[in-house]
Amino acid sequence: MAQPITIGANSIAKINNRFFLIVEVEAKTTGVEIDPVFGVRTTAQQAAALIRAGVMRTKFQNFDPKPTSTTKVELKGVLFAGGQIFKVFDVENSTDVSVLVRINQAQAQRLIKAGTRIIKVYRKPF
- pLDDT tens digits, one per residue of 65-118: 999 999 999 999 999 999 999 999 999 888 888 999 999 999 999 999 999 999
Euclidean distance between CA atoms 117 and 99, whole angstroms = 16
Report pLDDT for 48: 98
What distance in Å separates the CA atoms of residue 24 and residue 35, rounded to the nearest whole number? 6
**pLDDT score, position 120:** 97
Domain ranges of the chain: 5-122
Model confidence at 10: pLDDT above 70 = yes
Q: How confident is the model at residue 1 (pLDDT cuts 50, 70, 90)?
A: low
Global pTM reads 0.91
Q: Which residue type sits at 60? A: F
